């Protein structure tokens, strides 16, 4: 099983979300539902679009799961602006924690990331825990680890599949039973290079996931592995 995860980051308005789903769903119409049984497809829209996204996913009967891009380190309550795990669990099954953009622009450190993991787990959400390099701290009980070298994010430069595969071996040895996902400038041209390595269990796609055609191309190729 391979994870194909789209991270929309801070992009798209209401109409653009509708347009994405309309286009994306048309591709699925021509395919058998079972064609994607080897994939766990996850889309992570901004919080503000979770309600709409879930409705559109259900309306078009798409075989995809939803994830959040972040989560509050606190429970529900007096935390202005925060979105708690309990609130998210109405909409999503997964949550990205520790993305390097959260670490860099929002100052999130290992302590706060651990609190977020605890909140996610308590609400039965599955964390996709991102690390910038193989020596980064990973809390216990993480099942999905995203390896995302900072220099490869949004730059058009990827790590080599060989090096990323080596990182997968190293990280999985230290975290037995976990899945290792690669992220950083993945697109339809290079996605299979990572997905066909021995130890990489999926890909995290930023920029290319904003375009339903590119996201679809990646999925349809991955479905044939
Ligand atoms: P990118 O982003 O595909 O645009 O490089 C990857 C990520 O940050 O998840």
Residue 44 Cβ < 6 Å to ligand 1: no
Contacts of 93 (CB under 8 A, 6+ apart): 42, 65, 66, 67, 125, 126
Mutate-to-test residue for ligand 1 from 151, 185, 202, highest number of ligand atoms within 8 A of CB: 185
Confidence of residue 31 (pLDDT cuts 50, 70, 90): confident
- Write out pLDDT tens, residues 52-84: 999 999 999 999 999 999 999 999 999 999 999
Supply the residue whose CA is at minimum distance from atom 6 of ligand 1.
206
132 lines ligand 1 (CB under 6 A): no
Q: Tell me the catalytic residues.
A: 99, 148
104 ligand 1 Cβ < 6 A: no
Q: Confirm or reject: Cβ of 70 under 6 Å from ligand 1.
A: no
Mean pLDDT, residues 189-201: 97
Question: What was the pLDDT predicted at 175?
Answer: 96
What is the tens place of the pLDDT at every residue in 103-136?
999 999 999 999 999 999 999 999 999 999 999 9
* Sequence-distant (≥ 6) Cβ neighbours of residue 41 within 8 angstroms: 4, 5, 63, 64, 65, 219
Of all protein residues, the one whose alpha carbon is nearest to atom 2 of ligand 1 is 206
* pLDDT in the model for residue 21: 98
Confidence of residue 42 (pLDDT cuts 50, 70, 90): very high
Q: Is residue 30 predicted with pLDDT exceeding 90?
A: no
Task: Return the SS3 of 225.
Answer: coil
pTM assigned to the model = 0.97
């Amino acid at each position: 099983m391979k994870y194909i995860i789209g991270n929309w980051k801070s992009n798209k308005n209401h109409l653009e979300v509708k347009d994405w789903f309309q286009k994306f769903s048309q591709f699925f119409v021509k395919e058998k539902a079972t064609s994607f049984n080897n994939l766990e497809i996850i889309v992570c829209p901004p919080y503000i679009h979770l309600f709409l996204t879930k409705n559109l996913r259900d309306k078009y009967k798409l075989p995809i799961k939803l994830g959040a891009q972040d989560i509050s380190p606190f429970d529900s309550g007096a935390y202005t602006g925060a979105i708690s795990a309990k609130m998210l669990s109405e909409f999503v099954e997964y949550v990205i924690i520790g993305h390097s953009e959260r670490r860099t622009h929002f100052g999130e450190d290992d302590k706060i990331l651990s609190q977020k993991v605890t909140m996610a787990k308590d609400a039965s959400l599955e964390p996709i825990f991102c690390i910038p390099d193989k020596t980064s701290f990973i809390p216990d009980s993480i099942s999905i680890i995203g390896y995302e070298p900072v220099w490869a994010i949004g730059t058009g430069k990827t790590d080599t599949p060989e090096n990323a595969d080596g990182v997968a071996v190293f990280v999985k040895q230290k975290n037995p039973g976990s899945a290792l996902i690669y992220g950083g400038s993945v697109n339809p041209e290079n996605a299979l290079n990572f997905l066909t390595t021995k130890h990489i269990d999926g890909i995290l796609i930023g920029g290319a996931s904003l375009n339903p055609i590119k996201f679809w191309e990646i999925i349809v190729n991955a479905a044939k592995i």
